[in-house]
């Protein structure tokens, strides 16, 4: 695996590969890699000649300074995992490499998707995500971009970003959520859970499963309320559990359309998200 810290050198290398007809797949991450990230790497490897992973904890997408400060960094282990999984290239830039002095922060006209659900609870988050993905796509110029379904709303935001940037030729591939044996969606933030919190954390997925199992038996509103109540009883602070149209995330009570249950809840200062397609 080759590690690049310079965007210029990486771009140069990729240009050369592209000229020789090689297909490139790109997996952007914030590191503290787990099997969810690695499933994206595997998908990229099976579809492309060259797989590029980036690790960059992007400060502009954190609306909470404490969350940024405590975001897990496990670079030695990440390198080992990437090498074992035969990732071809790692892009490991510094903050000044990504946001050099004089960098002009663009604003992206994302529409309603920016301000609902995650956007409501994390103001500015999706603008930050777009800033970094825009920069990364400029440098990497991939044929295929791999994202995880775990961040359902983020996938929609990036789809919109590709349209705004006139980059619809990039094939956006969404990979299913990798879970621990007990159902907990894999996440770098899980590393921050203490023993007690780790035991309770799978309840989010359990509640999403309950919603799915009872969808045809109870009204959507009642299912949501029960799930929130159950999580609160276990000590979660719930931001939302919603049933939404899976095409645009508009909230709905009509389950005769493609719907997804989305959830965000915190245990102490650790905020977890998950989702489950319901039909």
Residues at the site binding ligand AMP, with contacts judged by CB under 6 A: 29-30, 36-37, 39-40, 147-148, 150-151, 175, 177-178, 185-188
Q: In terms of CB distance, is 7 or 29 closer to ligand AMP? A: 29
- The residue with its CB nearest to ligand AMP is 148
> Least separation, in Å, of the C-beta of 252 and ligand AMP?
24
Q: Extract the tokens encoding 275.
A: 């989702």
Q: Is residue 92 within 8 Å of residue 76, measured between CB atoms?
A: no
Q: In terms of CB distance, is 150 or 160 closer to ligand AMP? A: 150
Q: Extract the tokens encoding 269.
A: 């200062």
Supply the residues annotated as catalytic.
37
Closest to 30 (Cα-Cα) out of 235, 189, 219, 228: 189
> Least separation, in Å, of the C-beta of 103 and ligand AMP?
21
> Least separation, in Å, of the C-beta of 256 and ligand AMP?
28
End-to-end CA distance of the chain: 40
Q: In terms of CB distance, is 158 or 223 closer to ligand AMP? A: 158
For 102, phi and psi rounded to 5 degrees? 90, 0
Q: In terms of CB distance, is 27 or 220 closer to ligand AMP? A: 27
> Least separation, in Å, of the C-beta of 25 and ligand AMP?
13
> Least separation, in Å, of the C-beta of 46 and ligand AMP?
15
Q: In terms of CB distance, is 37 or 224 closer to ligand AMP? A: 37
């Amino acid at each position: 695996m080759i590690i690049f810290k310079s965007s210029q050198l990486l771009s140069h290398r990729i240009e050369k590969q592209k000229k020789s007809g090689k297909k490139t797949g790109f997996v952007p991450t914030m590191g503290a890699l787990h099997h969810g990230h690695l499933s994206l790497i595997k998908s990229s490897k099976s579809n492309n000649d060259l797989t590029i992973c980036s690790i960059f904890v992007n400060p502009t997408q954190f609306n909470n300074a404490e969350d940024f400060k405590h975001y897990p960094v496990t670079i030695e282990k990440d390198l080992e995992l990437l090498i074992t999984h035969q990732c071809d290239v790692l892009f490991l830039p510094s903050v000044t490499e990504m946001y050099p002095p004089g960098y002009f922060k663009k604003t992206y006209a994302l529409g309603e998707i920016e301000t609902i659900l995650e956007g409501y609870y994390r103001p500015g988050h999706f603008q930050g995500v777009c800033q970094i993905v825009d920069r990364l796509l400029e440098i990497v110029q991939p044929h295929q971009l791999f994202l995880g379904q775990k961040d359902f709303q983020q996938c929609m935001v990036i789809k919109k970003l590709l349209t705004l940037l006139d980059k619809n030729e990039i094939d956006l591939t969404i990979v299913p959520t990798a879970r621990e044996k007990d159902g907990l969606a894999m996440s770098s933030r899980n590393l921050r859970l203490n023993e007690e919190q780790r035991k309770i954390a799978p309840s989010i997925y359990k509640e999403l499963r309950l919603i799915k199992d009872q969808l045809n038996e109870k009204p959507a509103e009642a299912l949501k309320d029960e799930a929130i109540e159950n999580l609160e009883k276990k000590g979660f602070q719930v931001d939302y559990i919603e049933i939404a149209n899976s095409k645009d995330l508009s909230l709905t009570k009509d389950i005769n359309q493609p719907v997804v249950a989305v959830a965000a809840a915190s245990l102490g200062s650790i905020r977890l998200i998950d989702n489950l397609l319901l039909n």
